[in-house]
Amino acid sequence: MKMSFRWYGIGNDPIPLEYIKQIPGVKEVVWALHKKMAGEVWTQEEIQKELKVIHKAGLSGSIVESVNIHDDIKLGLPTRDQYIENYKQTLINLAKNDVKIVCYNFMPIFDWTRTDMFHPLEDGSTALYFDKNTILSIQPNELLDLFKQGEGDLTLPGWEPERMTRIKELFKAYEGITEEKLRANFKYFIDSIIPICEEWDIKMAIHPDDPPFPIFGLPRLVSNKENIQKLLDVNTSKYNGLTFCTGSLGSNTNNNLIAMINDFSDRIHFMHIRNVRVDETGSFSEVSHKSEDGTVDIIGVMRALCESNFNGFIRPDHGRHIFGENESNVRPGYGLYDRALGVMYLNGCWDTLKLTTK
């Protein structure tokens, strides 16, 4: 198991790399070129500039999250081939600089969805929150307004303003795109890039849908055991793999996360570990990583990984906002302190399990 920590880049993250370096066990930074638009080639010069800063801090940058996929690829438009060629070149440029894993998603329009960026919890902290009843009662443009209220001065990945200004146009484009059609478009994409991945030894790790059920009528491909299996079966190369996110998949209490880890262990390249507390309405709040604070059995997840001899990357994913973190000084879900506490909790679980697991 290799512990990592997400960082949003030069001039885009209030957390200095030297702070991340001080978190015990963290050797890897999960990074991206967040100013690049979907479909653009990441040049060697741009990649090396970012990695130079990461390496200077004494950290590695083996994981990228994300190289976003252009909507023309997801929609299966004739123009997708040029965007796929650009994607291939980006993968080659990343591999030349020792990047080993690319975390990405294939979600239509919205990357991830919450209704409150700083929802108050009982202990006085705040956290990301999803109110299912709110989503059922509003229009997509109203969701955009909720995000604008909570994002502050820091960009939210997947909710770039340039893209969101096209929201009506995008919904029109996705009319008639079913789960089956979206999966066929995914197959076209993954079949096109896997030869490059195999040649350059760079693994693709698709992230689950967040939340793991349809919203605004948009289809989902990565939300439960059945459709994940279908996605892995469309191309059986080990380079077509998973980012297994316990918070995303755990937001649907019908998902048996431990059984899924056991079933997919040979295709899980990257773990996002966080806890959520799901209520009887299907709404959920993000909470601390401690098992008893939420619905996800974090200790059980770590045990399943330990028993499968998982040797991939883990990051603590989102955290609460604590110790003075608020709308004025932190990116929602991505403060320093609770994620650092999460690292230590996960490290403690792992160390204990390694001693006791035969």
Catalytic residue among 8, 83, 239, 334: 334
207 counts as catalytic? yes
Closest CA to 349 of 293, 272, 296, 289: 289
Catalytic residue among 103, 245, 306, 349: 245
**Cα 206 from Cα 104, distance rounded (Å):** 5
Encoded tokens for 354: 């390694």
Closest CA to 353 of 266, 294, 291: 291
- Which SS3 state, helix, strand or coil, does residue 48 take? helix
Give the up-direction half-sphere exposure of residue 84: CA atoms within 13 A in the CB hemisphere.
23
Supply φ then ψ for residue 193, to 5 degrees. Answer: -100, -20
Catalytic residue among 70, 207, 269, 321: 207
Catalytic residue among 272, 321, 337, 345: 272
Catalytic residue among 116, 318, 337, 349: 318
Q: Are 296 and 275 in contact (CB under 8 A)?
A: yes
321 counts as catalytic? no
**Tokens 């997840």, residue?**
301
289 counts as catalytic? no
98 counts as catalytic? no
Closest CA to 272 of 293, 295, 253, 289: 289
Strand ranges across the sheet with 284-287: 116-120, 126-130, 284-287, 275-278
| Residues forming the active site | 207, 245, 272, 317-318, 334
